[in-house]
């Protein structure tokens, strides 16, 4: 009888130790996985709540400038810092370049202004005005290509006709 008690006690101790080892091995993995899922969920929520529409465009072939107005039609606001890190592509269809953001307009650059801005965020309903300059803008009546890409991956592009 005492040998059965001893054996049962040994099995019980082994089971408790095994459970502790299993918990110590599995818990960190579950914790890491839950934080990854939470981070991914936040990123997806941010992308789904952000939406932008190109309202109108204008390009001058003689002045090598373009003006584009975009409206935030999503429910999320876009930080000024994200707009500064956005990519802007402009030029003829199949012959465009990525422009550099600058405070003053010069060849190969773009600048922006959030119209109706009160808080350094591009809030829902507000308009973003982009002015860009490049010699890649084609002649009058030819097709101009424009693309705007936020760091979150939101992309909007359009083609329109150059004037002047």
Grouped pLDDT means (10 residues each) for the chain, 164 residues: 74 81 74 65 64 96 96 93 96 94 96 93 96 96 96 93 91
- Predicted pLDDT at 20: 78
Q: Which has the closest alpha carbon to 59: 131, 113, 129, 114?
A: 131
Nearest alpha-carbon partner for 137 in 101, 105, 104, 164: 164
Give alpha helix (H) positions in the chain: 2-49, 80-84
Query: What's residue 44's pLDDT?
Result: 60
pLDDT at position 54: 97
**What's the CATH class of domain 51-161?**
mainly beta
Full-prediction pTM beyond 0.85? no
Provide the pLDDT for residue 47: 58
């Amino acid at each position: 009888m005492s040998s059965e008690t001893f054996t049962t006690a040994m099995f019980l101790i082994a089971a408790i130790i095994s459970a502790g080892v299993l918990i110590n091995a599995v818990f960190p993995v579950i914790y890491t996985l839950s934080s990854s899922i939470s981070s991914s969920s936040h990123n997806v929520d941010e992308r789904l709540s952000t939406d932008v529409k190109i309202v109108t465009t204008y390009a001058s072939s003689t002045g090598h400038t373009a003006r584009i107005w975009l409206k935030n039609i999503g429910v999320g606001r876009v930080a000024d810092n994200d707009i500064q890190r956005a990519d802007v592509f402009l030029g003829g269809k199949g012959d465009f370049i990525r422009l550099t953001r600058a405070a003053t307009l010069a060849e190969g650059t773009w600048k922006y202004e959030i119209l109706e801005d009160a808080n350094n965020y591009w809030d829902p309903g507000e308009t973003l005005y982009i002015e860009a300059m490049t010699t890649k803008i084609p002649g009058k009546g030819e097709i101009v290509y424009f693309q705007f890409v936020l760091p979150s991956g939101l992309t909007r592009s359009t083609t329109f006709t150059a004037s002047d």
